Amino acid sequence: MDDRIRAHAETLVDWSARVEPGDEVVMRVAEGAHDLAVAVAAELGARGATLLATYGSDEVQRAYLRAYDGDFAPAEAERALYDRADVYLSLGGGRNTTATADVPGETQSAYARAREDAREARFATDWVSTVHPTRSLAQAAGMSYEAYRDFVYDAVLRDWEALAAEMGQLKEVLDDGREVHLVNEGTDLTLDIGGRTAVNSAASVTYDSHNLPSGEVFTAPAGAEGEVTFDVPITVKGRRLRDAHLVFEDGSVVDFAAVEGGDALADLLDTDEGATRLGELGVGMNRGITRPTDTVLFDEKMAGTVHLALGRAYDACLPAGESGNESAIHTDLITRMDEGSRLVVDGETIQRDGLFRWEDGFAG
């Protein structure tokens, strides 16, 4: 076994999920994640946790959903499982990223709605999502399998303690800040973040961070004025979106365009009222991620990028009892902070030309 698979498993169990002896662990294994599952099982065994492995097969799911006719029943048994579980580890990594492309969207939504209780119970555990590199994901990224594996492990096997400390500096600035000013090519945007709390997303439940890899600091902006261009391409529901450009007035999108995928963007904005407002401002800080791979789990954490999400805000960023932007979607759009870019908080430049003020070469 590749030593990096073992290191990935150890990072997941120790740093990310903080598994303790006696913890009851449910581990979801995607079709292509077998090798990582074996490595994680060894880590869980060594820590004296219990283990139930579930099979997260897109093909099983597709067959089930396509055959279903009628209303979905709630999944009480599955909910009972998660109610008792302490930790949920999702090992992604399928064999075909478009395996469920022929399941109608309404079916998928209806299924998701019926299972809301089970999902909430799962999110109440110390849950962590990660992916095992597969040929299918390499293909989606336009990379060879070997190169993609290197890419994934560079992103996952970081010095998370050190990165958490670095990200803590940005969190402090954002927590204290009232106004963010984002300047880049095609971008001049002002965001109101007063009273919001930033999450230091250091790939560990201890930091309210549930992705491995992670490596971003994010908060929930309340208002937005100006324009922004997203030059990192993404796929939205199977459609390519390139160089999306949004104009905000009073917090809402009032104009938009895209070099490719303008119709996909229109559909997205049309979802509901909240889809035209921002739910998240995130700053990518993972230097192990050096290129986009059309997977948001990685792309949004890429060092030297900033992302904004249309749609739902996360509770962790909001004052207790206050609800932020609400929407059925949360879609991250990403811009590279290259030469000429600036991230300014309350008049103070925090990042210029993609370099933070605490980095060598920063030109204040």
Site for a second copy, residues 48 to 77, rule: CB under 8 A: 48, 50-57, 59-61, 63-70, 72-77
What's the order of all strands across the beta sheet hosting 330-336? 199-201, 216-219, 278-284, 305-311, 330-336
CB of 355 closer than 8 Å to CB of 361: yes
Residue closer to a second copy (CB basis): 70 or 361: 70
CB of 26 to a second copy, least distance (A): 7
Residue 157 interacting with a second copy (CB under 8 A):
no
| Residues in Cβ contact with 274 at an 8 Å cutoff, skipping those fewer than 6 apart | 311, 312, 325, 326, 327, 328, 329
Site for a second copy, residues 1 to 30, rule: CB under 8 A: 22, 24, 26, 29
CB of 88 to a second copy, least distance (A): 10
Site for a second copy, residues 114 to 143, rule: CB under 8 A: none
The string of DSSP codes covering 81-96 is: HHHH-SEEEEEE--S-
Residue closer to a second copy (CB basis): 39 or 275: 39
The string of DSSP codes covering 155-171 is: HHSS-HHHHHHHHHHHH
Sort strands 216-219 and 199-201 into parallel, antiparallel or unpaired: antiparallel
CA distance 38 to 30: 12
Site for a second copy, residues 29 to 48, rule: CB under 8 A: 29, 31, 34, 37-39, 41-46, 48
CB of 55 to a second copy, least distance (A): 4
Residue closer to a second copy (CB basis): 9 or 289: 9
Query: How is residue 58 written in tokens?
Result: 């897109």
Residue closer to a second copy (CB basis): 29 or 268: 29
* 337 φ, ψ (degrees, to nearest 5): -95, 80
Chain residues binding a second copy by CB under 8 A are: 22, 24, 26, 29, 31, 34, 37-39, 41-46, 48, 50-57, 59-61, 63-70, 72-78, 80-85
